[in-house]
Structure 1
């Protein structure tokens, strides 16, 4: 109908097989006459994040990793001061493993009630995991805290390194994901701006194509 402006049709979507090179191609083809200012900006954002994300990720990894390592070292030192290794005796026989002497039996632990003396000299009973087949009055070593409760042994050097490395890796991944999210957000905003500009340009151009002579 004369005088009616048809709705603007957005440009065809890019081939998803090449979507992963889109930011790089925008940067390499910066002299393309069809390239918009927003395309150039998106290319710069992609390049900046590509360079900054690994650098900032390494900084975060070493910073968080070192902080975590120092924290766990201090925690382990405190644990060694407040936890004590003592001997406890079983108050009853521990369950037997179905396959005594097997590799599985060597790794299996069963809960059993033990009796021990806490750092204050009080005789206590508690439950802990022991090897299968131990008989009543068998002796086992347990770790006891200052309150007289059974606890885990102090962290070892290997555990400290493992936990610190875990936090370092999480820090690097967090920075990387933040970079990906930042690029995705910027691309979305720029795409909406492109679509708005497309609509505006079409509103100016369409009358010349749709008006009858």
Structure 2
């Protein structure tokens, strides 16, 4: 019918007009100088992050690689792979033969002889159900304490990548923080300008004839 009220239409979905994201670059009567300044600051920070992030990733990754490579070499020189004997039986897994049992390890006290010929004891993770006097291999450091094996190539690579990614994120977060701080400063400037303009305009609005 001609007199029917048309049905309400849903509001336009956000994100359908990409040009709205660049409104600070478009000429319009409501655009302020601070808007243009903020746009240039944002562009400058984006370019700075794009230039600094790869350099930071390379520097951090290179430094981390050399550090962990030297650490692995030092560990290989100062750690020995020695046989150790279980002092008592290892606990049995509730489900012997299961996939979980194959992956489970229990800490058990062992006895071994270090590089100086001294008999020492310590704890290491072993397979479930190993009987006492079973022999396993452990890594021992210069002090005769059971320790982790030297870093592997995969561990060095993963840690190096981790530091490189952290460096990239640090640069990106620094750029975002700088843009946020600049936005707050410009916003305060806008509010101060608004207050000043209103203080000049308000008396004319409040006059009575």
What TM bracket, shorter-length normalisation?
0.7 to 0.9
Structure-to-structure mapping, 1:106-117, within 5 angstroms: 106-117=102-113
Alignment match, 1:195: 191
TM-score (norm 1): 0.86
Alpha-carbon distance between aligned partners in 1 of 2:117 and 2:19, rounded to the nearest angstrom: 71
Structure 1 residue 21: deviation in Å?
A: 7.7
Of 32, 50, 70, which residue of structure 2 is paired with 1:36?
32
Quick check: 1:97–1:132 contact (8 Å CA) kept in 2?
Answer: yes
Assess if the C-alpha contact under 8 Å between 1:94 and 1:133 holds in 2. yes
Q: In 2 relative to 1, CA 85–22 (structure 1 residues): closer, same or farther, beyond 3 Å?
A: farther
Unaligned 5+ runs, structure 1: 1-16
Larger RCO (CA under 8 A, 6+ residues apart): 1
Given the alignment of the two structures, is residue 103 of structure 1 paired with residue 99 of structure 2, yes or no?
Answer: yes
Count of aligned residue pairs for this structure pair: 194
Query: Which stretches of structure 1, 4 residues or longer, exceed 3 Å deviation after superposition?
Result: 20-23
Q: CA RMSD in A?
A: 1.6
- Distance in 2, matches of 1:177 and 1:44, equals 18
Please point out which of 40, 50, 57 is paired with 2:53: 57
Work out the CA distance in 2 between the residues paired with 1:189 and 1:145: 56
1:143 aligns to what? 139
Q: Give matches, 1:171-210, under 5 Å.
A: 171-210=167-206
Contact 1:23 1:42 in 2 (8 A): no
Deviation string, structure 1 residues 98-147 (Cα, Å, up to 9, x no partner): 11111111110011111100111001111111001111111100000011
Structure 2 residue runs without a partner (length 5+): 1-13
CA change 1:179–1:21 in 2 (3 A) is farther
Partners of 1:57 and 1:171 within 8 A in 2: yes
Please name the residue that 1:13 is paired with. Answer: none
